[in-house]
């Protein structure tokens, strides 16, 4: 089993203090910084773009796990790579050519992530698993923070774990959506090794980030 990593979502941070919030995450032991990018088109919400990521990355030693919920995604990959994204995750539905988008991210020297919405089947990416570094399983419908966890997606994580064993392929399995201290345990048991969490990390236990990260990691 891979080491469990926590990727706090800055969607739940204080946006007026983003630089300080990133420092708090570094000091609290975050493994990655999860950045949700929404375009108001692919998902019904708007968030931040490359200039903000570039400014935040300047003073941060942790890798940026950038989740692009934008369409068409292909033409924006360069901009996010240039801004400092270390992992670039996109949705199969947001590109006309899954293979070309994977290749473009790889050619830019970044790790490739592909995100599966609750209704998206694993079969959509089955032929590309040897080229993908991370699969992000959405446990809510993307677009807004604070939604309720959908336990049915755990079957998808188990399916991915079985494929890993059968085909001897190596990729991280990340889960995002309503992750808290209770369901983090069942997500880890199902096979997830990276947990994205926002509200729980920033708001629980009076905002004690280190304590919240440690609790999420514990089985």
Return the structure tokens found at 64.
């940026």
176 catalytic residue (yes or no): yes
| CB contact at 8 A, 77 and 108 | yes
Dist. CA 190–CA 161, nearest whole Å: 8
Instruction: Spell 39-77 as b/e; 16+ CB within 10 A means b.
Output: beebbeeebbebebbeebbeebebbbbbbbbbbebbebb
Lookup result for tokens 């006309």: 96
Chain centre to alpha carbon of residue 163: 20
Strands (DSSP E) found in 79-198: 87-90, 111-116, 134-138, 172-176, 194-197
Active-site annotation holder among 31, 36, 65, 133: 36
Residue among 130, 172, 176, 208 flagged as catalytic:
176
Indicate if 107 belongs to the active site.
no
Catalytic residue IDs: 36, 176
């Amino acid at each position: 089993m891979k080491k469990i990593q926590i990727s706090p979502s800055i969607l739940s941070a204080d946006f007026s203090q983003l630089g300080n919030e990133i420092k708090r995450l570094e000091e609290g032991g975050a493994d990655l910084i999860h950045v949700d990018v929404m375009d108001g088109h692919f998902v019904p919400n708007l968030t931040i773009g490359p200039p903000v990521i570039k400014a935040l990355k300047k003073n941060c030693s942790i890798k940026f796990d950038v989740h692009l919920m934008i369409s068409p995604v292909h033409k924006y990959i360069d901009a996010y790579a240039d801004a400092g994204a270390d992992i670039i995750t996109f949705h199969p539905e947001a590109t006309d050519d899954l293979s070309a988008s994977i290749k473009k991210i790889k050619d830019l020297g970044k790790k490739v992530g592909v995100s599966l919405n609750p209704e998206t089947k694993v079969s959509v990416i089955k032929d590309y698993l040897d080229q993908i570094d991370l699969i992000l399983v959405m446990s809510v419908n993307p677009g807004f923070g604070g939604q309720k966890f959908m336990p049915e997606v755990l079957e998808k994580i188990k399916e991915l774990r079985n494929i890993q064993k059968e085909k001897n392929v190596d990729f991280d399995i990340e889960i995002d959506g309503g992750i808290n201290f209770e369901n983090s345990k069942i997500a880890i048991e199902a096979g997830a090794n990276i947990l994205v969490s926002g509200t729980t990390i920033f708001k629980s236990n009076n905002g004690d980030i280190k304590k919240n990260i440690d609790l999420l990691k514990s089985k």
